[in-house]
Amino acid sequence: MNYVEHFKSKIDELKQEHRYRIFANLARTAGSFPRATYCDPDSGLMRQVDVWCSNDYLGMGQNDLVLRAIESALRECGAGAGGTRNISGTNKYHVELEKELASLHEKESALLFTSGYVANQAALSTLPRLIPDCVILSDGHNHASMIEGIRHSGCEKIIFRHNDLDHLERSLQAIPFARPKIIAFESVYSMDGDVSPVSAICDLAQSYGAITYLDEVHAVGMYGRRGAGVAERDGCMNRVTLIEGTLGKAYGVMGGYVAGSAPLIDALRSFAPSFIFTTAIPPYLAAGAIVSIKHLMKSSTERELQHQRAAELKDSLRVACLPVMPSTSHIVPVLVGDAVRCRRASDMLLETHQIYIQPINYPTVERGKERLRITPTPCHTKSDIDRLVAALLDVWRALELEFNNAIWTGAAAAAQ
Ligand SMILES: Cc1ncc(COP(=O)(O)O)c(C=O)c1O
């Protein structure tokens, strides 16, 4: 076999389907977020751009308290953890961070992983395997890391229609009551920005003898009185069996975790290969995460401003008749509906308007649902929003993209 030609043809397939990913070379500068320096791959020229698609949702990646904690722990402990958690890699910062995470979610215990992806993959492949005859009910829009974990568990999987309580209940009814079941779902779905009915899913779990696994990756830090997520906001955190989260988004650092009862977490610690056989996160990251979590437990300023900015942006897009999708969270998706023009819209924003928004194409979203996924932060200003909406209008006209005609005849049309 000609291996090189084989892989080239695989890449060509991706390119033909407009699924080939191009990474923008963006230098983040602490203190300037959401501004970043973009390096043009052809000319090598650098220019400042506004980033509108970062998952550093609250700008905690440049928070001074977090940076100081990281600097100090880096000097104190050095660069790496020095081993797996089992072989000399456990440091006081890991231990303290796990206590902090357990306390955040009001659970007995928590376990750290190198990322949210690994946490999902590890938990959802390991726990079901430890439960004889287990069946997993998985929301149809669950993240790739959850799907991967469930697949590796080897357990029977039933996919219920996204956020569809009736379908979930019918699926539960079809399984004998005594058979062990796990309902795996997310709180905030990151591509549509919709939110699941956590409490109602817990009701169903209780009625049908299931346990619940909730991914709060796009909610921790941003929802609930102390930033513990949607389950905290909805007053049902104690009813969720396992809560999974990330330290890499609203907390601005890196790493993932699962929080739950002590025996469940101990089982994961003991049986999950992707926890045991990998180097622990560096102590300085754990130190930064502790400070970030503690800060957001006390301060609501960042999340309140973030929600305000998201509401302002959604309003401005609607007034401009741009097709903002019906999100109920801080995530603001704008529908393009075509892979080529989605890429082109992103390129035009960058080249002409110094605005960076990653195009979201298949397989991350269905074909025909390609979009720009915008994530306003407390660091974006009102005038940043005005500039963004003007730039989007320009791009929409240039590419002859569809406006939201339902309100197109209104005030915004007159302003054209
Ligand atoms: C729902 C969901 N879960 C888990 C992850 C993985 O988290 P991390 O980026 O910490 O690996 C992501 C990543 O975006 C996600 O969207």
Quick: pLDDT tens for 64-100. Answer: 999 999 999 999 999 999 999 999 999 999 999 999 9
Amino acid occupying residue 93: Y
Nearest CA residue ID for atom 10, ligand 1: 116
For residue 412, the model assigns a pLDDT of 41
Distances (CA, A) of 50 to 72, 351, 353, 376, 377: 30, 12, 9, 11, 12
For residue 18, the model assigns a pLDDT of 85
The atom number, within ligand 1, closest to the CA of 142 reads 1
What is the rounded distance in angstroms from the CA atom of residue 319 to the CA atom of residue 333? 15
pLDDT tens digits, 358-408: 999 999 999 999 999 999 999 999 999 999 999 999 999 999 999 987 643
382: its two tokens: 């009102």
Distances (CA, A) of 116 to 144, 281, 410: 11, 12, 44
Q: What percent of the chain has pLDDT over 70?
A: 97
Q: Which residues pair with 48 in a beta bridge?
A: 37
> Dihedral through CA 319, CA 321, CA 326, CA 330, nearest 10?
-50
* Token pair 């609607």 in the structure block, residue: 318
Nearest CA residue ID for atom 9, ligand 1: 116
For residue 415, the model assigns a pLDDT of 38
Q: State the distance from the centre of ligand 1 to the C-alpha of 30, rounded, in angstroms.
A: 23
Q: First vs last Cα of the chain: how many Å apart? A: 59
Q: State the distance from the centre of ligand 1 to the C-alpha of 227, rounded, in angstroms.
A: 17
Testing ligand 1's pocket by substitution, the residue of 53, 139, 145, 213 carrying the most ligand atoms inside 8 A of its CB is 145
What is the average pLDDT across 59-67? 98
Contacts with 309 (C-beta within 8 Å, 6 or more apart), sequence order: 376, 377, 378, 380, 385
Q: State the distance from the centre of ligand 1 to the C-alpha of 351, rounded, in angstroms.
A: 29
Distances (CA, A) of 256 to 32, 123, 259, 349, 351: 26, 11, 10, 32, 35
What is the average pLDDT across 118-132? 97
Q: What pairing do the DSSP bridges indicate for beta strands 181-186 and 210-215?
A: parallel
3-state secondary structure of 380: coil
pLDDT tens digits, 144-202: 999 999 999 999 999 999 999 999 999 999 999 999 999 999 999 999 999 999 999 99
Average pLDDT of the chain to the nearest whole number: 96
Is the per-residue pLDDT at 61 higher than 60? yes
The atom number, within ligand 1, closest to the CA of 189 reads 1
For residue 17, the model assigns a pLDDT of 87
Residue 180 near residue 205 (C-beta atoms within 8 A): no
What are the φ and ψ backbone dihedral angles of 270, each rounded to 5 degrees?
-85, -30
62: its two tokens: 């440049």
Q: Going along 126-271, which residue ranges are E strands? A: 135-139, 156-160, 181-186, 210-215, 242-246, 256-260
Q: State the distance from the centre of ligand 1 to the C-alpha of 123, rounded, in angstroms.
A: 14
Residue 382 falls in the annotated catalytic set: no
Residue closest to 26 by CA, chosen among 53, 7, 59: 53
The atom number, within ligand 1, closest to the CA of 256 reads 10
Nearest CA residue ID for atom 8, ligand 1: 116
Q: State the distance from the centre of ligand 1 to the C-alpha of 55, rounded, in angstroms.
A: 10
Q: Which residues pair with 36 in a beta bridge?
A: 28, 49
Query: What does DSSP assign to residue 38?
Result: E
Residue closest to 36 by CA, chosen among 23, 27, 24, 25: 27
Is the per-residue pLDDT at 411 higher than 60? no
* Token pair 């801080």 in the structure block, residue: 330
Is the per-residue pLDDT at 410 higher than 50? no
What lines the ligand 1 site, CB under 6 Å? 115-117, 120, 143, 145, 186, 190, 215, 217-218, 246, 248, 256
Query: What does DSSP assign to residue 115?
Result: S
What is the rounded distance in angstroms from the CA atom of residue 53 to the CA atom of residue 362? 17
Query: What does DSSP assign to residue 310?
Result: H
Peptide bond into 363 cis (omega under 30): yes
- Cα-only R_g, the chain: 22
pLDDT tens digits, 253-306: 999 999 999 999 999 999 999 999 999 999 999 999 999 999 999 999 999 999
In the chain, DSSP finds a helix count (H) and a strand count (E) of 15, 14
Output helix, strand, coil percentages for the chain, rounded to the nearest 5. 45, 15, 40
Contacts with 12 (C-beta within 8 Å, 6 or more apart), sequence order: none
> Active site residue: 249, 294, 298, 369, which one?
249
Is the per-residue pLDDT at 113 higher than 70? yes
The atom number, within ligand 1, closest to the CA of 254 reads 10
Q: State the distance from the centre of ligand 1 to the C-alpha of 112, rounded, in angstroms.
A: 14
Residue 192 near residue 325 (C-beta atoms within 8 A): yes
